[in-house]
Copies of this chain bind each other. A is one copy, B any other.
Amino acid sequence: MSMTVKTLADQIGATVDGEADRLVVGCAGIEEARADEVSFLANVKYARHLPHTAAAAVIVGRDTAAAGGTTTLLRADDPYYAFRQAVVVLHGFRQHPSGVNASAFVSPQATIGRDCTIMPWAYVEAEAVIGDRTVIYPHCYVGARTRTGEACVLYPSVTVYEDCTLGDRVVLHAGCVIGQDGFGYATHAGEHHKIPHVGSVVIEDDVEMGANCAIDRATVGATRVGKGTKFSDLVAIGHGTRIGRHNMLVGQVGIAGSSETGDYVVMGGQVGVAGHIRIGDQTQIAAKAGVHADIPDGDGRYGGIPAVPWADARRTIMAAIQLPRYVQKIRTMERRIVELERRLEQREAEVDQES
């Protein structure tokens, strides 16, 4: 797609501050962009590149200072969203192949919607229901009675066990596994006896998961991932856990079983959450934190192992880094106290002698 900076600006809700007539054909990073590409100031760290970029234009906020050089700015209220719109307009989304391939296995008892794509060696078991326009890549497995909504995408080697439910527009990247048995064993007489997992997984509309995520089915009832929630790669969710709507879970997050998150929860990379706890709406949890207790609703930021309010965690971290210095201080103070005690004792003894 090719268009002028002006046309692009109109389509993404930005105003042009500079040359409006140059043609742009795509998006690129601020250091790599060529003269026919539009870029974005993703992080204040890169502001130094602004005057030197070759980009036709750079998307910035309404009140970003002028670049200094001759760089054309596209000013937007929400520059990150405007950049996203630019990528959609200039590049669009991935196009998928179409049609049900003869090398796929589709059970005669399965129901396939209209305009679905089922690629070679995808396997769709009996009584599965595949929604209209859903795309299933090679080497996927869809278990018995599992239902997908409309316009889902299962990338290669995704496995969805039986009796699971996917909403509309659910996207599962390659290697995701949905609905395996959870980690439930009753230890009795020295052996771990497996509990049959007769529950399921429900994934609501507009959920997307990165590669190789693993979502356990519930023992009874359902593990649930709420509408609009996004996972990065290698996220693990335990059995019976209910993730709220519009959560953002960064890579390698792990949440144990029977826990619950509210809406708009954000977790940094490698966060761990214990079982049977609740994390309130809009909570933000710093990377690597370990959450062991309930967190109330309301925009709280948490961090540390165990996770505490972020301001406290930060203070603890700062204090911990200076700990060796304080240990030194404590030792010095002890010596000074001993010396004070000695001197005071001496003084007292002298006074006693005097009197």
Chain A contacts with B in 213-254, Cβ cutoff 8 A: 214, 216, 219-221, 228, 230, 232-234, 236, 238, 240, 246, 248, 250-252, 254
Are B91 and A240 interface neighbours, CB within 8 A?
A: no
Copies in the complex: 3
Are B139 and A121 interface neighbours, CB within 8 A?
A: yes
In whole angstroms, how far apart are the Cα atoms of A305 and B287 in the complex?
10
In whole angstroms, how far apart are the Cα atoms of A173 and B159 in the complex?
10
A interface size (C-beta, 8 A) = 120
Q: Given known contacts A121-B120, A157-B175, A246-B190, is B251 in contact with A43 (CB within 8 Å)?
A: no
Partner of A341, one of B105, B256, B340: B340
Q: Does A17 contact B (CB under 8 A)?
A: no
The closest CB in chain B to the CB of A157 belongs to B157
Q: Given known contacts A210-B214, A254-B251, is B336 in contact with A341 (CB within 8 Å)?
A: yes
A-B contact pairs, 10 of them (CB 8 A): A28-B220, A29-B221, A43-B258, A81-B186, A177-B233, A183-B248, A192-B228, A305-B317, A316-B321, A347-B348
**Chain A interface (Cβ within 8 Å of chain B)?**
26-29, 32, 42-43, 45, 78, 80-81, 83-84, 87-88, 91-94, 103, 105, 119-121, 123, 137-139, 141, 155-157, 159, 161-162, 173-175, 177, 180-183, 185-188, 190-196, 198, 206, 208, 210-212, 214, 216, 219-221, 228, 230, 232-234, 236, 238, 240, 246, 248, 250-252, 254, 256, 258, 269-270, 272, 274, 276, 287-288, 290, 292, 305-306, 308, 312, 315-324, 326-327, 329-330, 333-334, 336-337, 340-341, 343-344, 347-348, 350-351
